[in-house]
Amino acid sequence: MTVSIHVNEKAFGRAVVLDDIHFDIQKGEFLTIIGPSGCGKSTLLKIAAGLDTEYSGSVEINGREVTRPGISQGFIFQEHRLFPWLTVEQNIAADLNLRDPNVKKTVQELIDIVRLTGNEKAYPAELSGGMSQRVAIARALLREPEVLLLDEPFGALDAFTRKHLQDVLIDIWQKKKITMILVTHDIDESIYLGTQLAILRANPGRLQKWLPIELLFPRNRTDTSFQYLRQKVLEEFEKTEHSVYAEGAGI
């Protein structure tokens, strides 16, 4: 097992956000987590990253307990969060020295992988949102993380860019064999990318359904099997919505 997450309870003040969420994922899996807004899926990812440590439970990566953020749990934020004063290659290198030929070579390889060749010397202000997010991905990959955590990374992008970046991400996942956990609110995205799919429900955030996705890559959104899975996820959503209304809470 590589990533093992046990959250007994996570609360903000009196409001319980996450309740009894336990799961393990194997090395090389691509887990997508989907759920309505307010179900605590981003919080769960921050706990996995070590960015949030105020909860009861534990997170282990390869048997090592995660107590603070670090490079072995790469994290991609919703916004790219590049350093505006550094160029693309400097941003990817960040605290590593670009004059080191090894670093320089790996940085260049990653720039090629995320398809940004020719933009090495550009500043973030000169890049589009999709390009910036790819730089952020390359920055995380350079540190060779054991697991890459992505918090709605393509949420702010237009449909075309999003589709493109999803393919880039699958490409990277297949080449680098990194375990990935991606949080999203886009059902298509969760089925298109994941090998495992976790559906969360809100108030409090609980694991509603765990769904393995055994479609082969490259996947096709218009496939009947794809549409069938989509149907299943939607059904689960409907159940969670009913329960939400039954408990008298709004979304």
Partner 1 sequence: MKTAAFAELNGREKTAKVRKARKVPGWLKGFFVPIIILAVWQYAGSAELISATVLPTPLAILLSFYELAVSGELAANMQISIARAAGGFLLGGGLGLLFGILVGFSKKTESYLDPSLQMLRTVPHLAVTPLFILWFGFDELSKVLLIALGAFFPIYINTFLGIRGVDAKLFDVARVLEFSWRHQITRLILPAALPSILLGVRLSLGIAWLGLVVAELMGSSAGVGYMIMDARQFSQTEKVFVGIIIFAVVGKLTDSFVRLLERKLLKWRSSFQGTN
List of residues contacting partner 1 (CB under 8 A): 49, 51, 68-71, 73-75, 77, 79, 81, 83-86, 94-95, 123-126, 139-140, 143
Whether 77 and 156 have beta carbons less than 8 Å apart is answered as no
Q: Which of 89/236 has CB closer to partner 1?
A: 89
Shortest reach from residue 77's CB to partner 1, in Å: 7
CB of 181 to partner 1, least distance (A): 14
Taking the complex as a whole, how short is the minimal distance between the CB of residue 87 and partner 1, in angstroms?
8
Strand pairing report for 64-65 and 56-61: antiparallel
Say whether the peptide bond before residue 218 is cis (omega within 30 degrees of 0).
yes
Here the tokens at position 138 are 């390359």
- Least separation in angstroms between CB 81 and partner 1: 5
For residues 10 and 55, what is the distance between their CA atoms, to the nearest angstrom?
5
Q: How far apart are the C-alpha atoms of 112 and 91, rounded to whole Å?
A: 15
Which letter does DSSP use for residue 218 in this model?
A: S
Minimum Å gap between C-beta 214 and partner 1 is: 32
Element (H, E) at 100: none
Q: Please, are residues 205 and 17 in contact by the beta-carbon 8 Å criterion?
A: yes
Nearer to partner 1, 94 or 251 (CB): 94
Cβ nearer to partner 1, comparing 178 with 211: 178
From residue 185, alpha-carbon distances to 35, 40, 152, 190 in Å are 6, 12, 7, 8
Q: Which CB sits closer to partner 1, 81 or 176?
A: 81
Residue 73 CB, nearest distance to partner 1 (Å)? 8
The structure tokens listed for 122 are 């550009």
Q: Which CB sits closer to partner 1, 151 or 236?
A: 151
Which lies closer to partner 1 via its Cβ, residue 95 or residue 214?
Answer: 95
